[in-house]
Chains A and B, each alone.
Chain A
Amino acid sequence: MDEPQTPAIIDEFAGSSKRRFLVFISISILIAFVLVLISMYMYNSSGAAQLDLSRPGYVGVRSQAISDDGDFKNYSSTGSIDQSSITEFKTLYSTQAQKTKSVDAFGGDPLSPTALGLITN
């Protein structure tokens, strides 16, 4: 009596497995999609995107990025404080301060409508 039912059970089981597999794949894709969205949000909101010169459009300037600031010496945070250590720090600080201030970063007005040719004088 039970024998004719066996193929039906197997078919039902196979169908159920297929559906479960499809659901599993769908959920996996959905989870991956959500994780990608979260990581992209973090990438953009943290400001990492602005520092990422590997993005398209930055090929020309990528090589000019300073990868080694070896000339920027670390001042030791340990040791005694005396006149020579203060003088040493002042010399180091003045040198780096001068370098830092030497460039007028983001100065000028390259986005003015006149500079871009959007308005004629």
Chain B
Amino acid sequence: MFDLLDSALDNRKVMKMSKKILAVCLMLTVILSGVTIIRVAAETTPMTAGQIDQIRNNCVSAKNTLSQLHASDALLRVNRGQIFESMSTKLMDRFNSRVANNGYNNTGLISVSRSYGAMLDTFRLDYKTYEEHLSTAINVDCWNQPAAFYDAVATARTLRNVVHADVVKLNQYIDQYKSAIDQFEQDYQTVVNGIKQ
């Protein structure tokens, strides 16, 4: 009898806990939905009726262009990212190791390759931020929220320029590493000639 009573009490407790868990889940869902709605509904830029009409008239074509750009930029990110990564892992790091293994000073080479690696991390992060904002812009209802759409596109545009600046810097580091190799070659020749004499 006591066992039955205990089991009944346990069941009630478990049911109460299940209800509490369900309530927490529902509350979380409501909060998350609310945050999403607030984010999407934010409109800031004041616009004239003409500008709003212009955006609405080109709404579909603009969205198509954004979707195409989204896909082509993703491809660019994959292919370029792979090449940038290979420059570091297949060439720079390996040459640095080889130079170090032979007991030569590779400080200049390591300095540039570290800066390159840090910039590659920045590029990855900046592209991620850009892609997220471009996706947000694509998902904004440009018919009902033209100002929000305009703002989202403007933000994505700024972030795309940041990604481009990262690519330019990466290319500069590639040139700097080349200069560091030339410097290393000169130093190497000086050492070799010194030993011969």
Q: Which residue numbers of A lie inside 8 Å of B, CB to CB?
A: 9, 12-13, 15-16, 19-20, 22-23, 26, 30, 33, 47, 49-51, 53, 57-58, 60-61, 64-66, 69, 72-81, 83, 85-86, 89-90, 92-94, 96-97, 99-101, 103-107, 109-113, 115-120
Contacts and interface: CB of A to CB of B under 8 A. Distances in A.
Contacts, number: 176
Contact of A61 (B55, B74, B87, B163): B74
25 contacts: A23-B14, A50-B127, A53-B74, A64-B75, A65-B75, A65-B79, A66-B78, A66-B82, A72-B83, A74-B90, A75-B98, A80-B102, A86-B184, A89-B91, A89-B95, A93-B181, A96-B83, A97-B87, A97-B174, A100-B171, A105-B167, A107-B164, A116-B58, A116-B66, A119-B54
B79 A66 contact: yes
A60 B81 CA distance: 19
B188 to A, nearest CB: 7
- Grouping DSSP codes into helix (H, G, I), strand (E, B) and loop, the B interface class, with mixed when no group exceeds half, is helix
A99 B83 contact: yes
Interface of B: 4, 7-8, 11, 14-15, 18, 21-22, 25, 51, 54-55, 58, 61-62, 65-67, 69-84, 86-87, 90-91, 93-95, 97-99, 101-102, 104, 124-125, 127-128, 131, 150, 153-154, 156-157, 160, 163-164, 167, 171, 174-175, 177-178, 181, 184-185, 188-189, 192
Contact of B185 (A49, A51, A86, A104): A86
A111 B154 CA distance: 8
A70 to B, nearest CB: 11
A118 B55 contact: yes
Given A15-B11, A100-B84, A111-B153, 7 more contacts: A20-B11, A53-B74, A53-B78, A72-B90, A77-B101, A80-B102, A118-B55
B150 A57 contact: no
Nearest to A116: B62
A116 to B, nearest CB: 4
Contacts of A76: 94, 98
